[in-house]
Structure 1
């Protein structure tokens, strides 16, 4: 899922999470859960379910072969199910006929992606939480430290660096709140068979599909969708949109820090660590590499979300091309989001703040202006007004952050 140019813009954990092996493993979790639920309601024999569950171990499968065969099949699910049936048959020939019973390829793929996405969101949330907490700590520490407020890239007035940090933190806290709510709706079991009716999952006149869905949702800790969402992608794409907003907020922080870290400004610097931010031929350089990663994500993520929005007009009960395009975009989206979140969490946790340089830059502006302008717009005492607002904003954001449930 990655290239030499992708790896340093994401994280090892995210790259591994969307590896071929992890995706196949998540699909096997779906198949095991399906068999377990169907046996619980008497839809398939318990002995068959046990054979299927015992075989749903990724080490038993040739993942590379399954991936190669998916090219001709048009879906990763088709060669996986074929291989699962063949492997189950080696141990229990009768059980093979109950593999993937009453379901379809999109059911297994969408549910597998929901499982992987939940794990990715957990990693993202932890890093964003860390970034927001670091910003709130900086805000409290520098609540009254004056710094130039800048508009149109020019000095505008005086604020406090603490208020600037509180302003960076607030959108991150709001994004975490929205992501939590949106994920609760989007991360659902996909189960509906070819046309979403679960028609095959019945015993006599008794429809067992809803029970199977409920059992799988509980087992996999996903939402129990009221019906199949094969071509109803609003909740899923809404989650992507929320991630894009988060990346935009992280990119805004990165842009500001990068500007304040320029040599001519010198007010901030990313943490100083061996091998971090060096140059190939200029040993004096100190490149803001965390900001670089976050800004790269802010450039790329909107394009991925635009592609996801474009895939939403899907045909009837199963899409031809649009769903497949969506699948191809999704891993790259989450890998970029986690890369941005991790980069800024690392930068903000060790951000170096030069309050003396901030004051020197302010004094340099004051020296160039008439006294009445200096008094009205560039009086360092204005930072005290900002400090009062900073402390109230920090209290609100801290309480909101504490109320969030991290995965």
Structure 2
């Protein structure tokens, strides 16, 4: 995890201390189940609960000799209790019963943290959408002026996209928040399935239905695809804000600190660095999703090709996604909107954004379609080349249709507003 892109909530979840704390919890729960089954003396639990969570430094010290993290953890944990109790720890379990069950618990919590921030992002988008529902601006297709829309409509579309991402995250959480305590190659040969049920139930986890000694890695791939999809939705928002901040457009602006300096060489610069950062982080998230897919295929019942990858992949992907979502919230909360500039940009094309309404008016009057289109197109070309008012150019083409005001294009806008109200009511 890169500290610059890691917020405290995620950093704590993926720390070595937190991982070993979860390992201890899994081992104690498994032993509780074994005690209930009569396989382990009850006194063992007292010693296990009294032992401290091993320090990462001690585990690393032992690992230098043993070259096995789980055995090193167990050694560091068990050296704090009598041998009479230590020999019962991890009974019938294999390493990934511990690792994957603890990982499922951590991933579930991490998705909750990410989803909470994404929910705040959705709320900010909905709130600012209603705030600017009637802030008229030009819509653009292919980067070219199309027809009038509103900033609220634009932000509302982003809110629905984040909402869909939250649904994908919820499904992915269910997929990854699973555990397995099934023993070597997942056959329960040396451990009762009741132990697995006990452990997973108390950790709030589902159970891997057909374990191969490890939890299936397509689950993690599903999570990181959902994370990448959220990242790309945020990228779409950020890209739009970048485009709207260009000198030629200047319809929105990122808030700056009092001491802001945008360029070491050009004092006039106010660059869209916040939204650019969000776009860059989305590229990382898509790369993580691809790598997670490569982790799905393992040799036979298991191998370790995925292990080193996941130690980087899962913490980094979730911390980057969380950071990106949090920064998107901050950017949107403080975004400055220039409604006057939006109006000026509509007027800049001298009425061309109304060409479609003129075409429809001619068609409704009975003019043959190609003839009507060509006539409106000729008038539009004159307006573009000479800056002539579109209405005047139409009259010179023999067309007596008047261009509409921008608000006339929003006559049915209330339909989308109602859908946004339904989203707000559903999530509140």
TM-score, normalised on structure 2? 0.82
Distance 2:144 2:77 in 1: 64
Q: Which residue of 2 aligns with 1:52?
A: 48
Distance 2:332 2:284 in 1: 22
Aligned residues: CA RMSD: 2.6
Q: Which residue of 2 aligns with 1:42?
A: 38
Cα displacement (A) at 1:298: 0.8
Structure 2: give runs of 5+ residues left out of the alignment: 352-382, 395-400
Query: Cα distance 1:264–1:395, how it changes in 2: closer, same or farther (>3 A)?
Result: same
Q: Which residue of 2 aligns with 1:322?
A: 306
SS for the counterpart of 1:21 is: helix
Distance 2:64 2:261 in 1: 40
Does residue 334 (structure 1) correspond to residue 318 (structure 2)? The answer is yes
Distance 2:220 2:92 in 1: 24
Q: Which residue of 2 aligns with 1:395?
A: 421
8 Å Cα contact 1:158-1:377 kept in structure 2: no
Does residue 302 (structure 1) correspond to residue 292 (structure 2)? The answer is no
Query: Cα distance 1:299–1:384, how it changes in 2: closer, same or farther (>3 A)?
Result: same
Query: Cα distance 1:300–1:377, how it changes in 2: closer, same or farther (>3 A)?
Result: farther
8 Å Cα contact 2:139-2:148 kept in structure 1: yes
Distance 1:275 1:245 in 2: 35
Query: Cα distance 1:281–1:396, how it changes in 2: closer, same or farther (>3 A)?
Result: same
Does residue 222 (structure 1) correspond to residue 202 (structure 2)? The answer is no
Query: Cα distance 1:17–1:354, how it changes in 2: closer, same or farther (>3 A)?
Result: same
SS for the counterpart of 1:87 is: coil
| Higher alpha-carbon deviation: 38-47 or 293-302 | 38-47
1:6-405 paired onto structure 2 within 5 Å = 6-55=2-51, 57-58=52-53, 61-67=54-60, 69-70=62-63, 73-89=66-82, 93-201=83-191, 209-228=192-211, 230=214, 232-273=216-257, 278-279=262-263, 284-366=268-350, 369=384, 371=390, 379-382=405-408, 384-385=410-411, 387-402=413-428
1:264-300 CA-to-partner distances (Å, cap 9, x unmatched) read 3221123444567855565554443432332122111
Name the larger-Rg structure.
2
Q: Which residue of 2 aligns with 1:405?
A: none
Structure 1: give runs of 5+ residues left out of the alignment: 202-208, 403-407
Higher relative contact order (CA 8 A, sep 6+): 1
Distance 2:49 2:406 in 1: 68
| Higher alpha-carbon deviation: 389-398 or 130-139 | 389-398
Cα displacement (A) at 1:83: 1.2
Cα displacement (A) at 1:253: 0.6
Cα displacement (A) at 1:383: 5.1
Q: Which residue of 1 aligns with 2:357?
A: none
1:301-345 CA-to-partner distances (Å, cap 9, x unmatched) read 111111110121101112131344234311111111111111111
8 Å Cα contact 1:9-1:296 kept in structure 2: no
Distance 2:117 2:110 in 1: 11
SS for the counterpart of 2:148 is: strand
Q: Which residue of 2 aligns with 1:204?
A: none
Query: Cα distance 1:129–1:386, how it changes in 2: closer, same or farther (>3 A)?
Result: farther
| Higher alpha-carbon deviation: 251-260 or 281-290 | 281-290
8 Å Cα contact 2:253-2:337 kept in structure 1: yes
